[in-house]
Structure 1
Amino acid sequence: MLYNTNATKKPVLIIGIILSILLPFLAMAFSILIKKLGIDNETQFYISRFALWISLLLLFLYSIKIERQPFLIWAETKYSISAYLKAVFITFLKLFIAVYITSLLIVLLKITGESAALNKALVLFKKSYFLLFFTCVTAGITEELIFRGYLLPRLESVLKSKNMAIVLSSILFGFLHIGYGTLLNIIGPTVIGLVFAVQYQKYRNIKILIICHFLWDLLLLTAKT
Structure 2
Amino acid sequence: MAMQLNGKYAVGILLTFILLAAVMLYIFPVLYMMTGIKQMTAFSFSLSRIALWFVLLVIFLYTHCVEKGHFLLKKEKNYTLAFFIKTIVGLYFICIMGGAFLGAAIQVFTEEKMSSKLFEISSLLKNNYFLIIFTCFTAGAVEELLMRGYIQPRIEKMYNSPLSGILVSAILFGILHSTYGTIGQVIIPFFIGVVFAIFYKLYSNIKILMICHFMIDFISLMMMNMLDIKHLSVL
TM-score (norm 1): 0.92
Matched, 1:95 2:95: yes
Q: Partner of 2:110: helix, strand, or coil?
A: coil
**Letter aligned with residue 152 of structure 1:** Q
Q: What's the counterpart of residue 30 of structure 1? A: 27
Distance in 1 of aligned mates of 2:157 and 2:111: 36
Q: Which deviates more, 114-123 or 64-73?
A: 114-123
Alignment match of 1:12 (pick from 8, 12, 15): 8
Distance in 2 of aligned mates of 1:116 and 1:97: 23
Cα deviation 1:9-33 (Å, max 9, x = unaligned): 2111110111121111122222332
The answer to whether the 8 Å contact 2:76/2:206 transfers is yes
Q: Partner of 1:114: helix, strand, or coil?
A: coil
Distance in 1 of aligned mates of 2:36 and 2:117: 17
Tell me the matched-pair count. 221
Structure 1's 69 and 213: CA in aligned 2 closer, same or farther, altered over 3 A?
same
Q: What's the counterpart of residue 233 of structure 2? A: none
Distance in 1 of aligned mates of 2:171 and 2:29: 22
Matched, 1:210 2:206: no
Q: What's the counterpart of residue 187 of structure 2? A: 187
Q: Partner of 1:156: helix, strand, or coil?
A: helix
Q: Partner of 2:69: helix, strand, or coil?
A: coil
The answer to whether the 8 Å contact 1:118/1:180 transfers is yes
Report the Cα offset of residue 41 of structure 1. 1.5
Report the Cα offset of residue 212 of structure 1. 0.2
Amino-acid identity (%):
36
Matched, 1:138 2:138: yes
**Letter aligned with residue 20 of structure 2:** P
Q: Partner of 1:211: helix, strand, or coil?
A: helix
Q: Which deviates more, 50-59 or 32-41?
A: 32-41
Distance in 2 of aligned mates of 1:222 and 1:182: 21
TM-score (norm 2): 0.88
Q: What's the counterpart of residue 124 of structure 1? A: 124
Distance in 1 of aligned mates of 2:112 and 2:203: 35
**Letter aligned with residue 32 of structure 1:** P
Alpha carbon RMSD of aligned pairs, Å? 1.8
Report the Cα offset of residue 78 of structure 1. 0.6
Q: What's the counterpart of residue 199 of structure 2? A: 199
Cα deviation 1:184-215 (Å, max 9, x = unaligned): 21122111111111111121000000000000
Q: What's the counterpart of residue 112 of structure 1? A: 112
**Letter aligned with residue 88 of structure 1:** I
Structure 1: give runs of 5+ residues left out of the alignment. Answer: none
Structure 2: give runs of 5+ residues left out of the alignment. Answer: 226-235
**Letter aligned with residue 76 of structure 1:** E
**Letter aligned with residue 113 of structure 1:** K
Report the Cα offset of residue 69 of structure 1. 0.8
Q: Partner of 1:176: helix, strand, or coil?
A: helix
Distance in 2 of aligned mates of 1:7 and 1:82: 42
Distance in 1 of aligned mates of 2:182 and 2:30: 20
**Letter aligned with residue 206 of structure 2:** I
Q: What's the counterpart of residue 163 of structure 1? A: 163
